[in-house]
Structure 1
């Protein structure tokens, strides 16, 4: 049984990747533009840190300081303009990729349904097919948009962080202190995803059962009234609703236990205080470097909020 389930998972992965990579140029373009976008975000944070240091420790000519400040602000505005253009291209490309994947998956689904023998149509209920077409396919497509974009932002940001923290900000000690938080961040998200996956799967299955019950009651309304079975059908439908409600409550409880965001908030607080300690004791850091460092973690926190809804729900 385990080998069969693993084979099904592998076949699903190959099938899903075939639809995801059906337009490899668009996919590679999204990855490259995301890398450039994250680099621009980090460069902007570094410049913001320089502005903070300039405002705190500038002792030279005021006009010269204002000129440097204006130049840095102008660079940030230019970077944000480029960021806006890149974000628009990424979102549009991601939406186009998801729309085409949705079209191909539904065409493939309808083609397979039409080629099924009559015995299949006699045993499978219409509500189940409607649920598969609208809900399940929609959930698969939602991983591409916005799930894929959010997921790539986090993965690429984690890889880029080592270079920026060590080479650009010159804060290797802060990065070393961040590593335990990142390990806990990754492990808690993996645990959250494993716990949420069966609950989400059960929710979709029960939603399909409820859709089937609705479709059957609508189609058989005359028969139900003829035999005075309204109370029985109402009670049966009420059971489906309560069952779906219990599964929904399980999802809400798991969402309330989504700890990666809390871990990042703890990392921001701890590393901010630890950075101030390094400034006081050793003086080998600046306030601007701490601002840039925590700014990156806030950027990561923003994507972390959206990740579970985009990937698992």
Structure 2
């Protein structure tokens, strides 16, 4: 075989479930995909795919796929080791959680612009569940999010860990001492959406504490949490790092709440392992370098 293009075609047909989807991904025609596969089958003297209502691998095709993935992965490793960073080009779609949009993303974008001027960025800020779905569906190339993406096709690498805190406006007049949960239920408690681990932990803490009913509000926006807390509308539970300016300005204060140990939020950078993941892997490595050791 003359190059790796035919092997990449096999990989995409398998991963996307058919010749038509692979053709759309590789920006070619379905007949061109069939021709590549036919030529490869002729060179190897075996059938790679069993044609039918659904394209499936033959036993020989299954063996070939394993070697094809290894060869393409080795090429990606070679490119990462020797390629000139300034020569890297292409569109990179990044999905990022709002906390990292306020902390890591500005530095990452600046570094990408300086080191890889040929990369065009398309960025979206969203909640972690949506970012997981977008990455798995191939709508974004790199996700920086809370937790990991549980998918065997995905590479997850640790980025950083940010502690949570109870933040409130000084205008609420709460005493400067450790507070009990029951003392906070006068106000709504605003944190992340109800389908997140943080929200589940808060529900558990208040249920164990008993006392008056608590109003747990949810939001997908860190900025909204900070703004409503500053206005005295609620007490917000969020990453302290995202409210450093407000705390320094005295418009928010950190509350000490007795007998509650809020978990830190661990962030990861994730990308799909695929034939053209060299760019994603490079930017993921850059994000890890800028984030520093987790914790």
TM over 0.5: no
TM range (shorter): under 0.3
Q: Comparing both structures, which one devotes a greater share of its residues to strand?
A: 2
TM-score computed with the length of structure 1 as normaliser:
0.20
